[in-house]
């Protein structure tokens, strides 16, 4: 039995890992050169407590089921995760009523430890918060995670358990025979399947349409500013304003790696590939964040980015079998809290897959040799976070590559970059190295380490430095070898001379 999963974001990768517990062949197909290259790489990285949505909605129930799973999951997959808590902050007396309603919704959803804080209690937790804040809803079970490291952790583990991952492979059509999906057509040939799972994020409506299922995803852009780590302790909880109709508002939060993050705004756009940031949008983000924390430092910004929500008119997740063709499961509209909900979504899809094969007289069997955990790759920054840097010397003694510093801002060694290139999902671009090691994600944004990473990639992948890309396709970093450029210039000058 063969299953094809389209899209290696957090959802497709979580499903691939969950299904790899069974004796089936699984192919995970991704159009980009790496997993986590879509919405799963650019979001707030919050594991929401689950007080927002009604537990009767799919997104509410998936979030609530998933939140408690995260501690063990991240330990198994070796993904950094921290329960830092969240605060929804009210500035007006009438906000108290809304916060109480959220609290009781959360309690109905089974969330423990929710508290309404008054101004003094809030200031004790967050001394930098706007002094005009009056109340807050505190949720201790909310957490922060590195969303791309979670996706890579899932996908790496899936590969360890036998899943085949095809990168740079775009699904262009479904193979349909007698009202049944039999496989996919891609730019790299056709692949047959007994069941196809569509988790193509922003493009899941397009894939569904290939089977005649009608959905319309509208991309909604969210822009962010990321700050240097020296500002990472400006806040310790994730701070939300009172939500609007469209979104949870502009937040101020620490990242799991100790940076400060502000954003996102929410603007509907047309182009699903438009990840640009705008000066108006970034200004809006800054203004919004300052309402919560007035001393957010403008000069501390190291980069800005945006992510696109895959939003459906229903504002809920859609996870169901195709209405038109057999052997297709569509996951559409997996916007926030999709990251928080990934473990429960993967469980739900695994149940649907089991049921599908059962009614087709094929029973799935659990493997005896499923590998639950990923190995721990050495990362110097994790030793720093644990105040155990003296232990790093032991690692350097065994392999001197771990003693050669490549990224000075984030303290990343050559050994860590080589590991990233040889992980089950190999890092083959500069951005893929960044997502696995943090090299180039610091204050200088690749100014120092960029050429060194390029050199290591060229050596390890045995490719010409001119072929190394930032993020695949047409993002080559070097245009030509300088010696060749000089020779070309001399030749041109000589030619001009000849004509004279």
Ligand X SMILES: Cc1cc2nc3c(=O)[nH]c(=O)nc-3n(C[C@H](O)[C@H](O)[C@H](O)COP(=O)(O)OP(=O)(O)OC[C@H]3O[C@@H](n4cnc5c(N)ncnc54)[C@H](O)[C@@H]3O)c2cc1C
The span from the CA of 490 to the CA of 493, in Å, is 5
The span from the CA of 420 to the CA of 193, in Å, is 31
| Segment lying near ligand X (by CB under 6 A), choices 5-13, 153-161, 381-389, 447-455 | 5-13
Q: How far is CA 397 from CA 324, 400, 410, 423, in A?
A: 61, 6, 21, 22
Q: Note whether 304 binds ligand X by CB under 6 A.
A: no
Residue 225: active-site member:
no
The residue from 89, 163, 202, 282 that contacts ligand X (CB under 6 A) is 202
The residue from 154, 203, 357, 392 that contacts ligand X (CB under 6 A) is 203
Tokens describing residue 93: 């007396």
The residue from 22, 27, 28, 44 that contacts ligand X (CB under 6 A) is 44
Q: Note whether 338 binds ligand X by CB under 6 A.
A: yes
Q: Which of 285, 259, 284 is nearest to 441 (CA)?
A: 259
How far apart are CB 11 and ligand X at their closest, in Å?
3
Q: Which of 217, 230, 227, 233 is nearest to 270 (CA)?
A: 217
Q: Note whether 272 binds ligand X by CB under 6 A.
A: no
The residue from 137, 167, 171, 261 that contacts ligand X (CB under 6 A) is 171
How far apart are CB 262 and ligand X at their closest, in Å?
12
The span from the CA of 320 to the CA of 50, in Å, is 22
Q: Note whether 429 binds ligand X by CB under 6 A.
A: no
How far apart are CB 274 and ligand X at their closest, in Å?
12
Q: Note whether 181 binds ligand X by CB under 6 A.
A: no
The residue from 65, 309, 435, 452 that contacts ligand X (CB under 6 A) is 309
| Segment lying near ligand X (by CB under 6 A), choices 6-14, 98-106, 153-161, 489-497 | 6-14
Strand partners, 135: 90, 118
The span from the CA of 236 to the CA of 230, in Å, is 13
How far apart are CB 165 and ligand X at their closest, in Å?
11
Contact code string over 340-359 relative to ligand X, x by CB under 6 A: x-------------------
In 320-339, which positions are buried (b, 16+ CB within 10 angstroms) versus exposed (e)? ebbeebbbbbbbbbbbbbbb
- Cβ-proximal residues to 56 (8 Å cutoff; 6+ apart), any chain: none
The residue from 90, 201, 241, 343 that contacts ligand X (CB under 6 A) is 201
Q: Note whether 307 binds ligand X by CB under 6 A.
A: yes
The span from the CA of 64 to the CA of 141, in Å, is 11
Run of H or E including 380 = helix 380-385
**Residue with the CB atom nearest ligand X in the bound state:** 338
Q: How far is CA 435 from CA 79, 431, 439, in A?
A: 12, 6, 8
| Segment lying near ligand X (by CB under 6 A), choices 53-61, 133-141, 225-233, 307-315 | 307-315
Binding footprint of ligand X on the chain (CB under 6 A): 6-12, 29-32, 37-40, 43-46, 48, 170-171, 199-203, 222, 264, 307-309, 334-340
Active-site residue list: 48
């Amino acid at each position: 039995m063969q299953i094809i999963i389209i899209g290696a974001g957090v959802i497709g990768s979580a499903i691939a890992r969950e299904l790899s517990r069974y004796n089936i062949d699984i192919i995970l197909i991704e159009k980009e050169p790496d997993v986590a290259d879509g919405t799963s790489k650019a979001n707030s990285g919050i594991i929401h407590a689950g007080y927002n949505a009604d537990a009767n909605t799919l997104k509410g129930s998936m979030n609530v089921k998933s939140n408690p799973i995260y501690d063990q999951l991240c330990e198994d997959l070796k993904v950094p995760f921290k329960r830092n808590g969240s605060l929804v902050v009210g500035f007006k007396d009438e906000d108290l009523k809304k916060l109480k309603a959220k609290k009781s919704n959360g309690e109905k959803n089974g969330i423990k430890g929710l508290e309404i804080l008054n101004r003094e209690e809030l200031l004790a937790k967050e001394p930098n918060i706007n002094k005009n804040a009056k109340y807050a809803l505190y949720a201790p079970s909310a957490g922060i995670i590195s969303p791309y490291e979670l996706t890579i952790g899932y996908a790496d583990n899936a590969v360890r358990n036998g899943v085949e991952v095809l990168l740079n492979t775009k699904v262009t059509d479904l193979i349909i025979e007698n009202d049944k999906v039999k496989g996919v057509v891609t730019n790299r040939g056709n692949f047959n399947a007994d069941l196809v799972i569509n988790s193509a994020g922003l493009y899941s409506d397009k894939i569904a349409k290939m089977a005649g299922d009608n959905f319309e995803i509208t991309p909604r852009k969210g822009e962010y500013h990321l700050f240097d780590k020296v500002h990472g302790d400006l806040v310790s909880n994730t701070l939300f304003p009172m939500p609007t109709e469209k979104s949870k508002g502009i937040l101020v939060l620490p990242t799991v790696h100790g940076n400060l993050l502000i954003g996102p705004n929410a603007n509907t756009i047309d182009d699903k590939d438009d990840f640009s940031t705008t000066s108006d949008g970034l200004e809006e983000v800054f203004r919004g964040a300052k309402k919560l924390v007035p001393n957010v430092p403008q000069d501390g910004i190291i980069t800005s980015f945006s992510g696109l929500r895959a939003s459906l008119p229903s504002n809920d997740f859609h996870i169901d079998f195709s209405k038109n063709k057999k052997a297709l499961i569509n996951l559409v509209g997996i916007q926030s809290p999709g990251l928080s909900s990934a473990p429960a979504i993967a469980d739900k899809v695994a149940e649907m897959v089991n049921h599908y094969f059962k009614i087709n007289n094929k029973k799935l069997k659990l493997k005896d040799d499923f590998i639950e955990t990923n190995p721990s790759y050495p990362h110097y920054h994790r030793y720093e976070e644990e105040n155990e840097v003296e232990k790093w010397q032991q690692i350097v003694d065994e392999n001197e590559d771990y003693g050669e510093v490549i990224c000075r801002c984030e303290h990343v060694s050559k050994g860590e970059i080589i590991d990233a290139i040889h992980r089950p999902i190999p890092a083959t671009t500069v951005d893929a190295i960044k997502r696995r090691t943090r090299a180039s994600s610091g204050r200088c944004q690749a100014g120092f380490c960029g050429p060194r990473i390029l050199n290591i990639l060229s050596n390890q992948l045995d490719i010409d430095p001119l072929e190394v890309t930032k993020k695949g396709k047409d993002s080559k970093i070097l245009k030509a070898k300088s010696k060749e450029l000089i020779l070309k210039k001399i030749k041109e000058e000589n030619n001009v001379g000849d004509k004279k």
